[in-house]
Amino acid sequence: MVNIGFLGDVSVGKTSLLRNFVCYLNKNHITELSDGGNYFITDTDFSGESLISEEKSITHKKTKTIHPNRVYFKEKDTGFSHTLFAPGGDRTRPVVRMGIITISRIAKQIVAVIALDRSVKKQLKFFNTIRYFPKSVYICFNKYDLLKERSESTLEEKQEINSLIARTKKFFNRRNIRIKDIFFTCAENVGKYKDLNDEAADMILKIASENVDSAPKQRQSQVKNNIKVIS
């Protein structure tokens, strides 16, 4: 069983990444994306969401995660079960802070989620406050569609991405934390960026498959080869 925790600042899209994954499994889109494994949802818990007023929101979303949201899924062929956790990002609230601490300890695989709709520097500071942190993490640059929309050219887009990657690597390297892989995603269904929705779902399968010690090596290789790399 692989426990995967999504950590990040407020409104970076952690819960949306979980919901996107649930949607892909429920609509059987997963078989079109990666290794063709038969995955299915066994349980979900999105009761951690709470409504907030628009003037208090830094984005247009009207909910805030108080308690960690959870998704449980399983692969039928192997019987492997996995759990996804997405705590909130508002560390000023004790109950949210406790959720972050708990997930950072029980999730063996951590995905640091960074939104591309605002300053990355401020978002990286969030990870300075986490006491228990693994020696390696995955990086998920979410809301990549917004970066594409504001870039005037492909060159400008690539330059900004390279700068973000360099800044993020420098931040984690200083803390002796190795970056295992980097993903560019969009967790919201915005039509023309379906490939980024695909990447968001595929990311989870890749992390789960890579970290099951007894998982068949052939299957792990197939998943890895089918992951799209955005360069």
Residues of the domain holding 32: 2-226
Within-domain flag for 87? yes
Can you give the CATH number for the domain in which 220 is found? Answer: 3.40.50.300
Within-domain flag for 32? yes
Within-domain flag for 21? yes
3-state secondary structure the chain: CEEEEEECCCCCCHHHHHHHHHHHHHCCCHHHCCCCCCEEEEEEECCCEEECCHHHCCCCCCEEECCCEEEEEEECCCCCEEEEEECCCCCCCHHHHHHHHHHHHHCCEEEEEEECCCCHHHHHHHHHHCCCCCCEEEEEEECHHHHHHHCCCHHHHHHHHHHHHHHHHHHHHHCCCEEEEEEECCCCCCCCCHHHHHHHHHHHHHHHHHCCCCCCHHHHHHHHHHCCCCC
Per residue in 17-50, pLDDT tens? Answer: 999 999 999 887 776 666 556 889 999 999 866 6
Within-domain flag for 130? yes
Judged against a pLDDT cut of 50, whether residue 227 lies above it is answered with: no
pTM of structure: 0.84
Per residue in 181-221, pLDDT tens? Answer: 999 999 998 778 999 999 999 999 999 999 986 444 433 33
Within-domain flag for 209? yes
| pLDDT at residue 100 in the model | 86
| pLDDT at residue 225 in the model | 38
Within-domain flag for 196? yes
Within-domain flag for 231? no
Number of compact structural domains in the chain = 1
Per residue in 89-112, pLDDT tens? Answer: 776 777 788 888 889 899 999 999
